[in-house]
Structure 1
């Protein structure tokens, strides 16, 4: 009864803390401007099933795709075993599903163990890729000590959890062979039975080992759950809504501000009567609260995998831009804004903005708007939208732009085209004489 009470307290505290921290992230996301992503629900479900569930964009890098698939499937299916552990912890039972499921239970446990081994292999491979092979896309100015450590912490945690799971099963298997107390014959242990000979033969030591691994496994999972809101691995949960609310427009289509469009229409047609869309608080984006909630959701969904940066032509040629850094900076800034809200209230101004304090103008103007980063992202994140909206602010609010763009703007205004030639001279090239 004491063990049950302790477990219930730990479980309740873990759920409460996770709900509290996840609620803060939801609050932070909703600090963004509203945008309608409710159209074409059938298409959206299809996109989510294809990209988040089916992971179709991962296969462009086959090694990573296979290893990630092992972890992904293991995470989903092994959670069925976690459900049994939680029920056992609450009611003081032991392998409560063994009797009702009969022979199927043995197949499930065997499958769980096979997946646990695949997860172990995948995590070791990923650790080697990051810390021994040193893949280039895992480096960069934005990949400071914390992002690198975050990835390693998760991989090491998963290795420890899977090791504890297999060791728990091995001790349980050996206790079943000894017909010790409530450790009745239940399940099939194709992997852990190979570990069993390495364990002590004394029943008392086996019980202690089995219980220690049981507690370590389930408490470790609850700690992992509460670590997610502080980690890039929150994408485990957000990848699904993020892909559901994907931008279904063609990738080359840019958004227009309704207020600006109405002014242009009114100049071209004096009889045009614009709808009352309200005055925009700002043209473009200066700080994170000028972004939409979808932009902010994408920032929290970013896995920091570096696929976007690795295909960015500006980054490849040595320029300062890194699409991954754009998303990480956005996440850091909205988290800072949320923390200020909690500490100082909604009217507090810390004097910082996403533009200049986090993202430099050199980064923004290095972008070629080629959409390579958007195409490469495995969960449909769009760094380009943030970049173009911040450029819009610089041009429309500050009237600042590189000299080459200012020349183009002047040519468009004076000549009706980006080139410096007058309209009368445009066709001269067709007459070589």
Structure 2
């Protein structure tokens, strides 16, 4: 009963802590401005199933995709067994689902093979990061914490899978020994290979089995709460993020309603503009509170894999821009705003903003708007949307743009084209 009580306290405490932190993240995302993404539900569901569940875009790089699929499926499916572990922990039972008979044996065998695949996949990922040094895992934005975060997750998954297999091995040997409370249940094709290295003493086996059991369950609960402060939050957010991702062609940029109304009023004297809103109209975005909730969801979903930056032509040619950094900076800033609200009850100006404090103008204007980063992202994150809104603010609110951009604006105004030649000379090239 003491064991069951301790387990119940730990389990309820972990769920409560996760709920508190998850609510803060949801609150932070909702701080963004409203944006409708509820249309075309069938297409959205299809996108989510293909991109998030099916990991369609990952397979542009087949080997990492296959390893990721093993880790993803293994970790998700194995945790189905958590339901049994939780029930056993609360009621003191042993392998409660063994009432499923032969199907239970099939499940445990499948879980073990998946656990092995997760174990091997994580080891390969550690080697890729720390020995092979795959280039896209590095960059100015990949400071000590992002690197440590990635390694911690991989090590944690290796330890959890190892504890799972050790627990099963000790459990199986106790079953074969006829130990009390350990009835024959399940098939153990992988963990049975560990039987020879385990002691024969029943008391020692029970200690090993219980220790591995507690390590596994506490590790999973700790992992659950680590998600909310780690890049691996994408395990949860990838699904809503792909569902709400843009269904428009990638080259199509949204128009500003406020600007559109101004143009309509100039062209059509009979046009009646909508009633003015109580909200202050801002062209573009300066800080995270100006961005839409979808852009903030993008930021929290980013897994820092670097696929966006690895295909960015500006980054390839040595320019300062890194689409991954844009998303990491946005997430850091909205987290900072959230802490400000937690401390003061509402957001108090802190003389900081996403533009300039986190993202420099040199980064913004290095972007070619080619959409390569959007195309490459495995979970349909859109760094370009944030870049363009920051640019819009710089140009339309502050009248600050690089000299070549200002020259283009002037030529377009005077000549109807980005070049300095008059309209009469525009066809001279044909001669």
Q: Name the TM tier (shorter chain).
A: over 0.9
2:333 equivalent to 1:340: no
Residue in 2 aligned with 1:379?
379
Per the normalisation by structure 2, the TM-score is 0.99
Residue in 1 aligned with 2:317?
317
2:244 equivalent to 1:254: no
Tell me, which stretches of 5 or more residues in structure 1 are unaligned?
none
SS in 2 for 1:97: helix
Distance 1:210 1:425 in 2: 85
Residue in 2 aligned with 1:111?
110
SS in 1 for 2:425: helix
Residue in 2 aligned with 1:425?
425
What per-residue deviation string (whole Å, max 9, x for no partner) do you get for residues 43-94 of structure 1? 1000000100000000011111011000111122101211100000011101
* Cα displacement (A) at 1:280: 4.6
Distance 1:429 1:317 in 2: 31
Distance 2:44 2:200 in 1: 56
Residue in 2 aligned with 1:212?
211
Distance 1:268 1:111 in 2: 67
Which stretch shows the higher mean deviation, 225-234 or 417-426? Answer: 417-426
* Cα displacement (A) at 1:26: 0.3
Distance 1:212 1:304 in 2: 34
Tell me, which stretches of 5 or more residues in structure 2 are unaligned?
none
SS in 1 for 2:80: helix
Per the normalisation by structure 1, the TM-score is 0.98
Residue in 1 aligned with 2:26?
26
SS in 1 for 2:212: helix
Which stretch shows the higher mean deviation, 345-354 or 65-74? Answer: 345-354
* Cα displacement (A) at 1:426: 1.9
* Contact 1:28/1:338 (8 A) holds in 2: yes
* Contact 2:75/2:115 (8 A) holds in 1: no
What per-residue deviation string (whole Å, max 9, x for no partner) do you get for residues 152-183 of structure 1? 00000000000000000110111111101011
Which stretch shows the higher mean deviation, 269-278 or 39-48? Answer: 269-278
SS in 1 for 2:426: helix
Residue in 1 aligned with 2:157?
158
Distance 2:162 2:422 in 1: 74
Which stretch shows the higher mean deviation, 59-68 or 419-428? Answer: 419-428
Residue in 2 aligned with 1:236?
235
* Cα displacement (A) at 1:281: 3.1
What per-residue deviation string (whole Å, max 9, x for no partner) do you get for residues 326-376 of structure 1? 000000000000001101231411110000000000000000000000000
* Cα displacement (A) at 1:429: 2.8
Give the length in aligned residue pairs. 430
* Cα displacement (A) at 1:277: 5.9
* Contact 1:171/1:196 (8 A) holds in 2: yes
Residue in 1 aligned with 2:187?
188
Distance 1:191 1:426 in 2: 74
SS in 2 for 1:143: coil
Distance 1:426 1:177 in 2: 89
Distance 1:263 1:159 in 2: 59
* Cα displacement (A) at 1:28: 0.3
Distance 2:163 2:148 in 1: 22
Residue in 2 aligned with 1:132?
131
Residue in 2 aligned with 1:45?
45
Superposed counterparts of 1:81-100, under 5 Å: 81-98=81-98, 100=99
* Contact 1:259/1:280 (8 A) holds in 2: no
Distance 1:267 1:324 in 2: 40
Distance 2:345 2:174 in 1: 57
